[in-house]
Chain A
């Protein structure tokens, strides 16, 4: 039972490069989300999806794009990486309202 799988675990980029962080879940959850975690701060919501084909912005969406073509996959795209996007990124999925989110193990991204 894999749960939520994120790839890669680590990545170093140069400013201006593009990158796609992958997230896949095998629990048939309709809801998925992306968070970033920065030192001294809680997880902040970047984008979320309530089902295939439906996405919306969270608290800090600028500089990131998402799509949801299948229930299982929810990739996060950085079109032109900036040093301010250096962070740990977590993907999560959940069943619905008032249900806990299940998180992947994160992607540690450094942008030079």
Chain B
């Protein structure tokens, strides 16, 4: 059962514009959410996280929004840069990371 879903396999945006990546989850016990970025032939690298007590977390150009009632989170990248082109995974857990579930990923392409 896919408890974390990323319904858009790919997204293409122009350099300088906003990229919005979406993620939905089904398990109401999830209370810690993360976004990872992955380049080819490398492992995922941590980008940003948010706990369920917050609805927004910012780190530079990256902002994660959490809507608990809708069981939805999104990652905003502003402004998008060509170096942001990668696969982005969202992940969710109940807090101890032993039950972490990952989405299938969204491939972001930022065009110069």
What is A's interface to B at a CB cutoff of 8 Å? 4, 6, 31, 33, 35, 40-45, 48, 50, 56, 58-59, 90, 92, 94, 97-106
Within B54-112, the residues touching A (CB, 8 Å) are: 89, 91, 95-105
Q: A35-B102, A42-B105, A50-B98 are in contact. List 17 more A-B contacts (CB 8 A).
A: A6-B43, A31-B97, A31-B98, A40-B104, A41-B104, A42-B101, A42-B104, A43-B102, A44-B102, A97-B97, A99-B97, A100-B34, A100-B49, A101-B46, A104-B43, A105-B43, A106-B41
How close is B53's CB to chain A, nearest CB, in angstroms?
11
| CA gap between A104 and B41 in the complex, in Å | 10
A6: nearest chain-B partner, CB-CB: B43
| CA gap between A76 and B51 in the complex, in Å | 31
Q: Is the CB of B43 within 8 A of A90?
A: yes
| Cβ contacts under 8 Å, A6 to chain B | 43
Question: Which of A50, A98, A102 contacts B46 (CB under 8 A)?
Answer: A102
Q: Is the CB of B46 within 8 A of A48?
A: no
Question: Which of A58, A97, A103 contacts B45 (CB under 8 A)?
Answer: A103
B93: nearest chain-A partner, CB-CB: A98
> By the criterion of a CB under 8 Å from any partner CB, how many residues of chain B are at the interface?
27
Query: Is there a chain A Cβ closer than 8 Å to B21's Cβ?
Result: no
A45: nearest chain-B partner, CB-CB: B100
Q: Nearest 9 CB-CB pairs, A to B?
A: A42-B102, A103-B43, A100-B46, A43-B102, A105-B43, A42-B104, A103-B44, A98-B32, A97-B96
